[in-house]
């Protein structure tokens, strides 16, 4: 009689310990994921800054060749200022402002097609490579961020981690979307 | 991404166990047959020691493998911005914490590889031939493939399973050679073997014959699978399979073969150079159980059939082609989110600047250019990246670019009177007045005078007037407004 009670209690304790360990494991997993999402977001931030820094140089170089494209320059400069202003916002706000800048840059690059001398300028070629790379970096950083967010949000929604997530208030993260997907694509050169 | 790494680790663990069991069994059997009582344990201990030594050697040698491939130059952001950018983009896409070192191997062959047993010491090396011949997107595909090897920890895995394979091979070869040496007479030096049962001895010999084969099959099968996985991951990173497919096609189609590689470094390359050297088209398709890489054509076919960039898509394309196979672990395929592919970006590849040694082809081209410049040729750069060399006798003011078809105007003087806002002034409208040429940049420029004679301006030319050496007319040189 005595023994069976002891065994019963022992089993209960063991179960409690296992449960506790599982909770710790899931909690740590969630924290790890949340940090990864944060880190991925700061990566995007870095790349967006890079883009903002690059644009004035590009505009300066192009100005000498494209004296009749004032409007294009003004549009790019304004879009850049707007995007920089949205820097600290939520992923959605940043996404919208950056979409405006992407749009302006795409139009600018299309205009550049009319100036073969500019396109052959070595300095401009370098800057253009930097721009291409920056656009790629933003796309790739966004891709990595969204992958992480997906993983994290899934964990928050799925059983059993959703219980822990609810208990410790892990909130779902927002995806980073750059609106107007059509205009996000690099402009195709037409002959 | 991360789950793939996890499942890779688990899978590698089992392969290690299998290889390890083969090793231990072999050691035990040899020990039991030829060593004094309790010899089995001695045999196992000896096998372990051998593996440990090989492992340590491989661990230290592994980092220097780039150097063993020959003339490799480490590049920086300044010396070769485009390649650096491409690698950094992939590092971002993979969410990999550290920028790998980048090397360019001066070699006209097209190939690339990744090294680094520890992620902190990882490096990607590409040949200069690769950088010259691939487009930006193709180069990106190759770099993505190598980056996948790094994040999937393939180098570590392949090195250490290579070590296990190596020690298994060494032990069985040692045994078999030893037996052949002493002839059939087991009662001589290996006298103690007489104590062991003949059946045991036969079992040992049979196993010693089989073990390396068995281990090789394990090793090569896994190596091939990892190549497919690296392709799948590369697509997942770039979302642009055509880049990698095009690159593989070019690499497989090249006739130059790599100058320096050996049996041990060969499996590291994106396409095994040993298989490339095997001349002839049909040999390239030759696929044997002893290949570390899957046939190139199959890899390209799979890449071209992809309808999306997710692992699911790769798996189904793989299944369609091979009609079998569990390439990607089940856990990975549960995620049903579709991953769309993207469009390729236009833009020519840029030459690496600075320190990389020019190849022979480049050198001879430079000399040719110099001679042409002396001969009065005009160099006309086109937006598509081509540089057209126009002979002085062309007698036209414009010509279409032979590559992209754009109409290019020969730079020439314009008459000063017509210099209003109209940019498209043709030459020759006012031949007698002052002639004007507007400089476009600060580098070398050439243009033709109204008499058709070519004039070259060097970067150092800063005067306002130049005289044509043919018709003695004075031409005013204007400089672009300095940008504020």
Domains of chain A: 42-149+177-184 (1.20.1440.20)
pLDDT in the model for residue B199: 80
Q: Is the ipTM of this complex over 0.85?
A: no
Tracing tokens 């401009």 back to the chain, one arrives at: A124
Q: Are B25 and B44 in contact (CB under 8 A)?
A: no
Nearest Cα residue in chain B from A137:
B89
pTM of the model: 0.68
A188 Cβ under 8 Å from any chain B Cβ:
yes
Q: Strand B445-448 to strand B435-438: parallel, antiparallel, or no bridges (unpaired)? A: unpaired
Domain locations along chain B: 1-344, 360-478
* Share of residues in chain B with pLDDT > 90 (%): 4
What is the helix, strand, coil percentage profile of chain A, to 5?
A: 80, 0, 20
Contact A136 B89 (CB under 8 A): yes
pLDDT in the model for residue A118: 79
Select the residue of B81, B237, B347 nearest A126 (Cβ to Cβ): B81
Contact B81 A116 (CB under 8 A): no
| Alpha-carbon distances, residue B273 vs B248, B265, B279, B322 (angstroms) | 12, 9, 11, 24
A102 Cβ under 8 Å from any chain B Cβ:
no
pLDDT single digits (tens) B85-122: 999 999 988 888 788 989 888 888 888 888 877 777 88
Q: A101 Cβ partners below 8 Å, 6+ apart?
A: A51, A55, A76, A79, A80, A82, A83
Q: Is B285 a catalytic residue?
A: no
* Alpha helix segments (H runs only) across A113-160: 116-120, 122-157
Work out the minimum CA distance from A97 to partner chain B, whole angstroms.
Answer: 22
pLDDT in the model for residue B253: 78
Degrees to nearest 5, angle at CA B17 with B14 and B21: 145
Higher pLDDT, B378 or B275: B378
Nearest Cα residue in chain A from B422:
A68
Contact A129 B94 (CB under 8 A): no
Contact A133 B82 (CB under 8 A): yes
Kindly tell me if the per-residue pLDDT of B364 is higher than 60. yes
| Alpha-carbon distances, residue A22 vs A11, A26, B327 (angstroms) | 16, 6, 31
Work out the minimum CA distance from B478 to partner chain A, whole angstroms.
Answer: 13
Candidates A120, A110, A118; CA nearest to A72 is A110
- State the average pLDDT over residues B421-445: 57
- The SS3 of residue B223 is helix
CA distance B272 to A186: 34
* Alpha helix segments (H runs only) across B239-340: 241-253, 273-277, 281-285, 296-305, 311-322, 330-333
A49 Cβ under 8 Å from any chain B Cβ:
no
Q: Are B86 and B143 in contact (CB under 8 A)?
A: yes
Kindly tell me if the per-residue pLDDT of B157 is higher than 90. no
pLDDT in the model for residue B59: 79
A53 Cβ under 8 Å from any chain B Cβ:
no
ω before A160 within 30° of 0 (cis)? Answer: yes
- State the average pLDDT over residues B363-382: 71
Chain B: which residues have CB within 8 Å of chain A? 1-2, 81-82, 85-86, 88-90, 92-95, 136, 237, 239, 337, 342-343, 345-347, 350, 381-383, 404-406, 408, 440-441, 443, 480-481, 483
Work out the minimum CA distance from B115 to partner chain A, whole angstroms.
Answer: 23
Residue A140 in tokens: 């790739």
Contact B440 A185 (CB under 8 A): no
Contact B345 A186 (CB under 8 A): yes
pLDDT single digits (tens) B277-331: 544 444 444 445 556 677 788 888 888 888 777 777 888 888 877 766 666 666 5
Residue B37 in tokens: 């009582």
- State the average pLDDT over residues B56-82: 76
Q: Are A103 and A81 in contact (CB under 8 A)?
A: no
Candidates B8, B7, B51; CA nearest to B26 is B51
Work out the minimum CA distance from A140 to partner chain B, whole angstroms.
Answer: 5
With bands split at pLDDT 50, 70 and 90, how would you rate the model's confidence at B141?
very high
Q: Are A47 and A141 in contact (CB under 8 A)?
A: yes
Which residues from chain A sit within 8 angstroms of residue B441, using beta carbons?
117, 121-123
pLDDT in the model for residue B440: 67
Nearest Cα residue in chain B from A60:
B483
* Share of residues in chain B with pLDDT > 70 (%): 65
Q: B428 Cβ partners below 8 Å, 6+ apart?
A: B415, B450
pLDDT single digits (tens) A107-120: 887 888 788 777 77
Q: Pick the catalytic residue: B3, B6, B89, B146?
A: B146
Best B80, B85, B89 residue to mutate vs chain A (most A CBs within 10 Å): B89
- Range with lowest mean pLDDT among B161-165, B394-398, B461-465: B394-398
Best B92, B343, B380 residue to mutate vs chain A (most A CBs within 10 Å): B92
Work out the minimum CA distance from B137 to partner chain A, whole angstroms.
Answer: 11
pLDDT in the model for residue B153: 82
pLDDT single digits (tens) B330-349: 656 655 566 666 655 444 44
DSSP tally for chain A: helices H, then strands E: 7, 0
Tracing tokens 């593996």 back to the chain, one arrives at: B51
Contact A144 B239 (CB under 8 A): no
Select the residue of A43, A63, A116 nearest B383 (Cβ to Cβ): A116
pLDDT in the model for residue B430: 43
Positions of chain A with pLDDT under 70? 87-88, 178-191
- State the average pLDDT over residues B379-383: 67
Higher pLDDT, B383 or B469: B469
pLDDT in the model for residue B189: 45
Which residues, listed in sequence order, are joined to residue B125 by a DSSP beta bridge?
B103, B113
pLDDT in the model for residue B323: 67
- Mean pLDDT of the residues in chain B: 74
């Amino acid at each position: 009689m005595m023994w069976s009670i002891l065994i019963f209690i022992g089993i209960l304790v063991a179960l409690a310990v296992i449960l506790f360990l599982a909770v710790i494991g899931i909690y740590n997993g969630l924290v790890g994921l949340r940090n990864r999402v944060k880190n991925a977001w700061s990566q995007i931030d870095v790349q967006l800054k890079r883009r903002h820094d690059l644009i004035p140089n590009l505009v300066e170089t192009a100005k000498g060749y494209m004296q009749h494209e004032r409007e294009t320059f003004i549009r790019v400069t304004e879009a850049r200022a707007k995007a920089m202003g949205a820097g600290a916002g939520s992923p959605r706000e940043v996404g919208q402002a950056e979409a405006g800048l992407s749009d302006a840059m795409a139009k600018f690059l299309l205009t550049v097609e009319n100036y073969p001398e500019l396109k052959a300028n070595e300095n401009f070629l370098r800057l253009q490579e930097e721009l291409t790379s920056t656009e790629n970096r933003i796309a790739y950083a966004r891709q990595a961020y969204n992958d992480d967010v997906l993983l994290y949000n899934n964990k928050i929604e799925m059983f059993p981690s959703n219980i822990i997530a609810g208990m410790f208030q892990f909130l779902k993260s927002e995806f980073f979307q750059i609106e107007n997907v059509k205009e996000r694509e690099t402009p195709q050169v037409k002959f | 991404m991360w789950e793939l790494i996890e499942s890779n680790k688990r899978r590698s663990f089992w392969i290690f166990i299998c290889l390890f069991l083969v090793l231990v069994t072999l050691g035990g059997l040899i020990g039991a047959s030829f060593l004094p009582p309790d010899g089995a344990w001695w045999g196992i201990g000896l096998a372990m020691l051998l593996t440990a030594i090989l492992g340590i050697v491989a661990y230290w040698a592994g980092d220097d493998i780039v150097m063993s491939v020959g003339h490799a130059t480490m590049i920086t952001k300044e010396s070769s911005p485009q390649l650096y950018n491409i690698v950094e983009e992939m590092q971002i896409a993979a969410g990999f914490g550290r920028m790998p070192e980048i090397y360019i191997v001066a070699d006209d062959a097209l190939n690339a590889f990744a090294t680094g047993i520890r992620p902190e010491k990882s490096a990607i090396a590409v040949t200069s031939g690769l950088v010259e011949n691939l487009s930006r997107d193709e180069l990106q595909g190759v770099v993505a493939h190598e980056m996948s090897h790094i994040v999937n920890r393939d180098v570590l895995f392949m090195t250490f399973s290579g070590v296990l394979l190596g020690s298994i091979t060494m032990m069985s070869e040692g045994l078999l050679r030893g037996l052949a040496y002493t002839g059939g007479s087991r009662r001589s030096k290996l006298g103690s073997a007489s104590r062991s049962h003949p059946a045991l001895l036969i079992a040992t010999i049979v196993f010693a014959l089989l073990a390396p084969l068995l281990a090789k099959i394990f090793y090569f099968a896994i190596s091939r699978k990892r190549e497919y996985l690296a392709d799948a991951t590369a697509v997942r990173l770039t979302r642009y399979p055509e880049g990698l497919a095009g690159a593989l096609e070019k690499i497989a189609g090249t006739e130059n073969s790599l100058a320096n590689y050996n049996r041990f470094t060969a499996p590291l390359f994106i396409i095994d150079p040993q298989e490339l050297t095997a001349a002839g088209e049909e040999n390239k398709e030759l696929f044997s159980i002893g290949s570390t890489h899957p046939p190139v054509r199959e890899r390209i076919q799979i890449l071209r059939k992809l309808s999306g960039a997710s692992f699911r898509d790769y798996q189904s394309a793989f299944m369609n082609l091979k009609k079998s196979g569990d390439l990607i672990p089940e856990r990975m395929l549960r995620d049903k989110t579709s991953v769309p592919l993207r469009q390729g970006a236009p833009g020519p590849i840029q030459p690496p600047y600075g320190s990389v040694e020019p190849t022979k082809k480049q050198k001879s081209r430079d000399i040719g250019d110099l001679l042409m410049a002396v001969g009065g040729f005009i160099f006309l750069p086109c937006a598509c990246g081509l540089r057209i060399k126009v002979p002085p006798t062309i007698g036209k003011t414009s010509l279409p670019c032979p590559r992209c078809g754009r109409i290019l105007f020969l730079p020439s003087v314009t008459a000063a009177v017509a210099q209003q806002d109209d940019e498209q002034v043709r030459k020759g409208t006012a031949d007698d007045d002052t002639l004007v040429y507007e400089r476009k940049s600060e580098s070398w420029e050439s243009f033709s005078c109204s008499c058709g004679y070519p004039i070259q301006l060097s970067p150092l030319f800063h005067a306002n007037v130049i005289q044509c050496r043919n018709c003695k007319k004075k031409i005013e040189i204007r400089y672009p407004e300095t940008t504020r």
